[in-house]
Amino acid sequence: MSRRRTLGTKKKIALLVSAATVAGGGAFVMASTSNAAQTPKSAAESTVCQGLATALGNNQKFIADQRANPDAQSEARIANREAVVAEIQRKQEASGCVVGESAQDSQAAQPSQPAQGGQQAGGAQPSQPAQSAPAENPGGGAAASGQQVCNGSTVTLSGEDGAPAASSNQFPAGTKLKVTNLDNDKSTTVEVTSVSGSCVLLNNAAFEQVREPGKFLIRRAVIEKVG
């Protein structure tokens, strides 16, 4: 009787150990799955991440251009855009994106602005050519009021605060642009107030007026010069 009880006890202990091992293995698998699910997404994997990467790339290019061709206001512009870059990176982290990933797809089709009047790069003011050069339509010539411009351009946000506004590398300050998101038929008309590396970047307030929830990129946009 005692031997049977002893063997029975040993079997019970073995079963308990086996159950604990299985449970531990299951916990390990669950933890591994959870960690895999938390892997940051790249711009190619998420529209949200692509929009943030594009915005980051636009601002980084602007900073690089200012450092390459500085003028009296460059330090202030750079400080402003560095704050914007930090905010975009915080949004990347909060959205589960790869922090620091940037893309400049929206700038690939944009020609570089030549220096005017034979000035050397070191003496030219980089913001002036972009502000004074007339926007061109596909057929050539300056864009007239009410004409569609920047055909094929995507629209994202600059990350800047303040009243609804836009920045551009093709339109001078004071130009009014109407941006329509064809995916939800929402529109906003804003004034260009600063220079950027794209045809048009909307600040936070303007982007909120036309965005789709959870998206930081407008793929199908119509941009019109209205004033």
Is position 60 within any domain? yes
- Structural domain including 147 reads 47-104+127-225
Is position 109 within any domain? no
Structurally, the chain folds into a number of domains equal to 1
Is position 30 within any domain? no
Residue whose token pair is 């943030």: 52
pTM of the entire predicted model: 0.56
DSSP state of 111: P
Please report the pLDDT score of residue 48 as a whole number: 85
Please report the pLDDT score of residue 104 as a whole number: 60
Q: How remote is the C-alpha of 62 from its chain's centroid?
A: 14
In the sheet where 221-225 sits, what is the strand order? Answer: 147-149, 221-225, 176-181, 186-195, 166-168, 201-202
Q: Mean pLDDT per 10-residue run, the chain (227 residues)? A: 54 54 47 58 85 87 88 83 86 89 55 37 37 40 69 87 92 94 96 88 94 90 93
Contact 49, 42 (CB under 8 A): yes
Is position 69 within any domain? yes
* Orientation of helix 47-68 relative to helix 74-94, angle to 10°: 160
Is position 87 within any domain? yes
Is position 16 within any domain? no
Run of H or E residues at 91: helix 74-94
Is position 42 within any domain? no
CATH number for the domain including 209?
Answer: 2.40.40.10
Please report the pLDDT score of residue 58 as a whole number: 85
Is position 171 within any domain? yes
Please report the pLDDT score of residue 193 as a whole number: 93
Please report the pLDDT score of residue 41 as a whole number: 87
Please report the pLDDT score of residue 142 as a whole number: 53
Check the CA dihedral 88-112-175-213 and report its sign: negative
